[in-house]
Structure 1
Amino acid sequence: MSTFSKRIIICGTDTDVGKTIVSSFLVQGLKGIYWKPIQSGTEEGTDTKTVCNLLSLEPNSYLPERYKFKAPVSPHWAAEQESAFIEPSNLKLPDLDELIIIETAGGLMVPLNRDWLQIDQLKAWGAPIILVARTGLGTLNHTLLSLEALKHRNLEVLGIVLNGPPHKDNPKTLEQFGDTKILASLPIFDEVNAKVLSQEWHKQQLDQKLKRYIQN
């Protein structure tokens, strides 16, 4: 397997859809390295710390952020408030042999600077994407629009991970109209920890769905 192929990007249809939990889920299940290149809202903590604490990651199992900003707003504006600038050339994929799970900041069309959207960065990276979406009302529109934007740019979508209470129709409707598959549907956990995520991983049988990314 080439180094380039061992990258998976976790992107959401919106903010607060559960990207960090899904990233933790995949880091643990695939024994990957976690990387969130851009973090805004550091006064509320960072997603890197959340994942590290949740999974008790060793220092060699995560990468530091390239950019961190205090304001809990879109990355481009958070950077501007600190007289900073997010430079796409500083977001190149790390040259490592291990699988890297990359968590983006916000949704697909979030600006990273005034001339560069997050989806432009996804195109530059060229790595396969897992889209994280809610299960409930509003997810059809948000998710199908996101899938259309990704496919318009010929970006590979591995599938969708849903977060939230089970829904009787939305999963099959997303698969039908989005021409993709639901990789997993995670419930609202009473408590999230490494053991719970491990149990859910085996329950969802992600080993089979993503077997080409599992380390030998």
Structure 2
Amino acid sequence: MTALTGIVLVTGTDTGVGKTITTAAIAAAATASGVRTAVVKPAQTGIDPSYGEVPDMAVVARLAAPATTVTLAEYPDPLAPTAAARVAGLPPLDMFAIIDQVKSIAAEHELTLVEGAGGLLVPMGLHPGGAVWSLADLAVALSAPAVVVARAGLGTLNHTALTLEAMARRNIAGRVVLGAWPGRPELVHYANLSDLPEELDGLLPEGAGDIEPGVFRRSAPGWLSPTLYGDCDDPRTLAEPDED
């Protein structure tokens, strides 16, 4: 399959599944392929620099060094963007304004990754009439595919299937990446790997975000399929145990 180009959304089956590191890996692999890449975060929530917390786009910039990283809105509380805006007394995200900004950025790049917040249906903002919109609505409006970052452990089959089903009902093309394959996998991890959808396009090692940036950039293509600018034809082989 040809590598994805244009606008591509990155979502997750849940929060904390490795979405930002996966976004960085795709950006690193694309950049290494000579593709001018942008990474956009519509809403960053819950970052407190006084505790040493780092915004997602700063993580992506450090690890992947894409041509552009942009955060469109920031809210201080660790909540879904709509709730975070409400609690902070700040304007919620307007989907049409986000669309205009993303399209403007995409016009100057070959690949534009748009990293969501949490899962596919997390409330991202409000329309002028008060209706909530989600990353799924943004994908439909942009006619963009989405990469779904999933867990490796218990519960991932249901969460992944629900996310892909919600996408299919909206005609959103989807691919799957495991955001953190454990260093010491157990039976449940291998069983899940066999039962995940065929559209598995990546498998990142646990702790990938802690790798030195230069090593991260060199390693990223080996974690991803050619669809995501990698050189691994079957990411499932990355989970095969080493032979003594």
**TM-score bracket relative to the smaller structure:** 0.7 to 0.9
The SS at the match of 1:64 is strand
Q: Distance in 2 between matches of 1:202 and 1:63?
A: 20
Match of 1:127 among 140, 144, 152: 144
How far off is 1:205 after superposition? 5.3
- State the match for 2:232 in structure 1: none
* Percent pairwise identity: 31
- State the match for 2:40 in structure 1: 35
Rate the CA distance shift 1:115–1:14 in 2: closer, same or farther, 3 A.
same
Rate the CA distance shift 1:89–1:172 in 2: closer, same or farther, 3 A.
same
- Does residue 64 of structure 1 match 2:56? no
Contact 2:63 2:216 (C-alpha < 8 Å) held by counterparts: no
How far off is 1:119 after superposition? 1.7
Match of 1:145 among 162, 173, 177: 162
Describe the superposition over 1:154-176 as per-residue Cα deviations: whole angstroms up to 9, x where unpaired. Answer: 1011x21102224212122112x
Structure 2 regions of 5+ residues with no counterpart?
32-36, 126-130, 230-244
- State the match for 1:53 in structure 2: 62
Structure 1 regions of 5+ residues with no counterpart?
212-216
Match of 2:122 among 107, 110, 127: 110
Residue correspondences, number? 200
Describe the superposition over 1:71-108 as per-residue Cα deviations: whole angstroms up to 9, x where unpaired. Answer: 01111010011222211111112332411111111111
Q: Distance in 1 between matches of 2:141 and 2:194?
A: 31
- State the match for 1:101 in structure 2: 113
Q: Distance in 2 between matches of 1:202 and 1:15?
A: 24
Paired AA for residue 100 in structure 1: T
Contact 1:6 1:97 (C-alpha < 8 Å) held by counterparts: no
- State the match for 1:214 in structure 2: none
Match of 2:199 among 181, 188, 194: 181
- Does residue 18 of structure 1 match 2:24? no
Contact 1:66 1:90 (C-alpha < 8 Å) held by counterparts: no
- State the match for 1:88 in structure 2: 95
Describe the superposition over 1:18-75 as per-residue Cα deviations: whole angstroms up to 9, x where unpaired. Answer: 01100110111001211111111132331011212233x37xx224322110001111
Describe the superposition over 1:130-174 as per-residue Cα deviations: whole angstroms up to 9, x where unpaired. Answer: 1000101110111111011000111011x2110222421212211
Rate the CA distance shift 1:41–1:22 in 2: closer, same or farther, 3 A.
same
The SS at the match of 1:184 is strand
Rate the CA distance shift 1:192–1:91 in 2: closer, same or farther, 3 A.
same
> Greater shift after overlay, 127-136 or 107-116?
107-116
Listed as ranges, the matches of 1:157-176 within 5 Å are 157=174, 159-162=175-178, 163-165=180-182, 166=185, 167-175=189-197
Q: Distance in 1 between matches of 2:18 and 2:92?
A: 27
